[in-house]
Amino acid sequence: MAYDVEKYRREYPILSREVYGKPLVYLDNTASTQTPVEVVRAVEDVYYRHKANVHRGVHALSQEATMLMEDSRERVRAFVNAGDIAEIIFTRGTTEAINLVASSYGQLLEPGDEVILSVMEHHANIVPWQLLRDRKGIVIKVVPMLADGSLDMDAYKALLSPRTRVVSITHVSNVLGTVNPVADIVRMAHEHGAVALIDGAQAIAHKDVDVRALDADFYVFSSHKMYGPTGIGVLYGKRELLEKMPPYQGGGEMISHVTFEHTTYAELPFKFEAGTPDYVGIAAFHKAIDYLTGIGTAPIAAHEEELLEYTTREMMKIPGMRIFGSAPGKCAIISFLIGDAHHYDTGMLLDKLGIAVRTGHHCAQPLMHALGVEGVVRASFALYNTKEECDMFLSALRRVAAMLG
Ligand code: PLP
């Protein structure tokens, strides 16, 4: 079936709005993708027809809401090919999922145990481990990258040691677009008796993810980066690990029995889901996954790759253009600077021309440091972007480059 981008665009009313009297060109998809009508309607449907707190009620609405939430859990399980719905924990996002693992699995670590991260991690995959270091005296080691933005796998191999307990690395860099060899990363971690967490925030909408084929111990991602509602994320974890881990937060839903003297905890996955979840968003997340798989991550990735190649080629013709990240097979993310122009000035001027890009350190300050910059401008593509939009972006970029000298 041909890739019908115009048809897909019609499902996103926001894409036909204007900013400053100019048609919006939305290229901030790495931060958050837009949400199609059918997913928004699914949110509306729960609010209008099924809203009642989940898991506790005998009445019809509560049972319907619970069923929608648990159907969504099963949908997520199938989507990432997990073996068991008990392995799918709903969180507020990737950040909370990593905090959950660092905090809970972290309690099983001893002073001097080592956690390996990479230089291209998002702060969400750095700071939780630093908090653990402060609490537990663990040691953090960092895998560097090569000049093209690929992970230095020789350095990774050299960092693995008998004290390595956790390897926590991103699947796709949110700045460089680098796709890391996560199956190898996981296998090598296992050879050293360590567990591997893969941050899938930037991969999940662009790659087919099979957690069992990857053999990842933990895999985390966010709904808002995959055309779904905000405020929802997923922690996939292997059952035997989740069973061993202490609860992350305490409260309703996560208990089996409570007295003032002693509390026993609920079974998985509820042990890790204290309090009322965003069951409305979770129900609509189901639709987002159906939507994504309906189009297919492979055709989406092929479409985005075309836009990436075309735009990169044309950008390189602009005098002074510096693009960060050229690893083979990179995802459709272009981080750049024009000469010495400040990233913020470039982003502001592009915004006035209707182009939404992101500027700054992209929650990856150690990576900025390694690149020798304070920040970069980032354009990133999604399933609904078009070649015409790339041309609008390129023409705006040429104007901005001329203005900034
Ligand atoms: N990890 C990566 C690679 C990301 O790109 C992001 C968000 O941009 C996150 C983690 C954090 O995701 P969230 O803010 O949805 O928790």
pLDDT mean values, one per 10 residues, the chain (405 residues): 94 98 98 98 98 92 97 98 98 98 98 98 98 98 98 98 98 98 98 98 97 98 98 98 97 94 96 97 98 97 98 98 98 97 98 98 97 98 98 98 91
**CA 124/CA 136 separation, integer angstroms:** 19
Kindly give the distance from the C-alpha atom of residue 95 to the centroid of ligand 1, in angstroms, as a whole number: 6
Task: Name the residue of 180, 182, 222, 234 to mutate for ligand 1: max ligand atoms within 8 A of Cβ.
Answer: 222
In testing the pocket of ligand 1, which one of 204, 230, 363, 380 has its CB within 8 Å of the most ligand atoms? 363
pLDDT single digits (tens) 206-231 = 999 999 999 999 999 999 999 999 99
Query: Which residue out of 363, 367, 368, 377 is catalytically annotated?
Result: 363
Cβ–ligand 1 distance for 180 under 6 Å, the answer no
- Four-residue CA torsion sign, 290, 296, 301, 304: negative
Beta bridge partners of 164: 114
Residue 370 region by backbone torsions, left for phi larger than 0, else alpha for psi between -120 and 50, else beta = alpha
Cα-based torsion angle of the residue sequence 374, 379, 381, 384 in order, rounded to the nearest 10 degrees: 140
pLDDT at site 405: 77
93 conformational bin, left if phi > 0, alpha if psi -120 to 50, beta if neither: left
User: Can 390 be counted among the known catalytic residues?
Assistant: no
Q: Is the CB of 94 under 6 A from ligand 1?
A: yes
For residue 381, count other CB atoms closer than 10 A to its CB.
Answer: 27
Using CA positions, which residue lies closest to atom 14 of ligand 1?
95
Q: Is the CB of 103 under 6 A from ligand 1?
A: no
Residue nearest to atom 5 of ligand 1 (CA): 174
Distance 212 CA to ligand 1 centre (A): 22
Task: Determine if ligand 1 sits within 6 Å of the CB of residue 95.
Answer: yes
Q: What residues contact residue 275 under an 8 Å CB cut-off, 6+ apart? A: 249, 251, 252, 253
The answer, yes or no, to whether any atom of ligand 1 lies below 6 A from the CB of 202, is: yes
Beta strand pairing call for 114-118 and 164-170: parallel
Give the model confidence (pLDDT) of 285-302 as tens digits.
Answer: 999 999 999 999 999 999
Please give the model's pTM, rounded to 2 decimal places.
0.98
Structure tokens, 166: 């956790």
